[in-house]
Structure 1
């Protein structure tokens, strides 16, 4: 499923947080959104999973206006993992994952065999089947994150929106999550802080600064020395991963007198 965000603007209390942003996520592609803290990444993603209505512009799924769809239909097409998830009740991990099936169930309907199969498959996919009977609040940060990703996968959406999905994960888990969602075949729109993960796994990157897109394209084209200095305030050194050959970045601080090496 294609995702097209056209001329999207978000204004809150008179402040423009996102300004005339347009981007395209092609079907089955992993598209990354990168930028400094406070640049508008989360605000933009909240519009993409209907937690926030834009002040202007549209989010379209294969041409359909997301915000014109019913809540149930929207949830069947888009699943999201927000950056902050608050749980007040100590459900089991399995029960949390089962919540992903709600858009597919009728009111007061019993859980079906298909629901149970979807939940098992999602837990297996993230390596969390052994957590199914554990209380969610008793889990570590990384375990919670895997369960929440499983909930999104159990929803069986066509688009997955992830806001910092590698938060709270150790290094091994970070290297598992993005290949996992990439292998899902879903269209994935994700915000990432780690530029090396973004470079290694994203098909396309959009760089956002002060609410505007300032660069987009394949990671090697986008993550240039000049852009990283201007947007992130760091000096970058490109190297090749010795095993995969993928571009990796090493960073140091810019000289105090400016971005010139």
Structure 2
């Protein structure tokens, strides 16, 4: 399932934070949104997963206006992991993941055997099956993040929106989670969907680490001051010139010895010489 943003602008408290953004993530593709702090990444994604409404423009899934959909219908198609996600109540991990099945349940929302099995498979996929009986509030930050990703996968979406999904994860976990999302099926048991090769999820994610973005994303959109500064494959987008202009750093590009993905080494930009 493809996701398309056309001319999207977002306002918060009367201030326009995102300006006329047009973005496309093709079916089964992983697309990253990168940019410095305050560039509008999270605000844009909040509009995509319907925490905010666009002041202008549209968000469409396979041509259908997402904001015009019934909430349950939208939740069957799109799952999200916000940057600050969680629960204030000490549910067990199994109960938190089971919340991902609510859009698929009718009436009183009683979980079926299939719901329970999908939740167990989602936990196993993120390496958190052993946490099922634990209280969510007692988990470490990294454990909580894995459980919330499992909840999103258990929702069985066609599109997954992730805002800084590697927060609180150590290096090995960051690589594992992004590899999982990158190769992920659109259903926890891997049953493909018609029209989507291998049933792969379409993923739209904001990432802070440019090297992770370059390694795992098919395309990148660079945001600066709420506007698109560049878009395209990571190798084409992450140029020293753009990184100096947008991020204020001097970048040295190298190739990953195994994947061939562009990787970056950073230095501070030289300070301008003082007038004599």
Same fold (TM over 0.5): yes
Check if 1:212 corresponds to 2:227. yes
What is the CA–CA distance in structure 1 between the aligned matches of 2:261 and 2:53, rounded to whole Å? 38
Deviations 1:4-30 (A, max 9, x none): 000001122331100000000000000
SS in 2 for 1:166: coil
Where does residue 89 of structure 1 map in the other structure? 89
Instruction: Give secondary structure in 2 for the equivalent of 1:8.
Output: strand
Give the match's secondary structure for 1:44.
helix
1: CA distance, partners of 2:57 / 2:252: 37
1:176 equivalenced with 2:176 (yes/no): yes
Q: Matched residues in 2 for 1:244 and 1:209: separation?
A: 28
Question: Hey, what does 2:106 align to over in structure 1?
Answer: 106
CA distance in 2 between counterparts of 1:143 and 1:245 reads 31
Structure 2 residue 195 is the aligned partner of structure 1 residue 188: no
For 2:5 and 2:54, locate their aligned partners in 1 and report how far apart those are by CA, in whole Å: 11
Q: C-alpha distance in 2, partners of 1:9/1:247?
A: 31
Give the match for residue 270 of structure 2.
255
Where do 1:14-93 residues align within 5 Å?
Answer: 14-93=14-93
**Equivalent residue in structure 2 for 1:222, among 223, 227, 237:** 237
3-state DSSP class of the match of 1:148?
helix
SS of 2:116 mapped into structure 1: helix
2:255 to 225, 240, 255: 240
2:192 equivalent in structure 1:
none
Alpha-carbon RMSD across the aligned residues, in angstroms, is 1.0
How far 1:227 sits from its partner (Å)?
A: 0.2
What is the Cα deviation at residue 87 of structure 1?
Answer: 1.7
The residue aligned with 1:2 is 2
Any idea what SS the aligned residue of 1:73 has?
helix
Number of aligned residues: 258
**Worse overlay, 113-122 or 65-74:** 113-122
Tell me the SS of whatever aligns to 2:4: strand
SS of residue in 2 equivalent to 1:242: coil
* Alpha-carbon distance in structure 1 between the residues aligned to 2:19 and 2:50: 18
Deviation for aligned residue 1:246 = 2.2
TM-score (norm 1): 0.97
Q: Which sits farther off after the overlay, 135-144 or 109-118? A: 109-118
Cα distance between partner residues in 2 of 1:65 and 1:240: 40
Give the C-alpha shift of residue 110 in structure 1.
1.7
Cα distance in 2 between the residues matched to 1:176 and 1:67? 32
SS at match of 2:22: strand
CA contact (8 A) 2:235 2:261 kept: no
TM-score (ref. length: structure 2): 0.92
SS at match of 2:57: strand
Aligned to 1:134: 134
Return the alpha-carbon distance in structure 2 between the equivalents of residues 256 and 15 of structure 1: 33
Shift of 1:114: 1.1
Cα distance in 1 for partners of 2:168, 2:86 equals 15
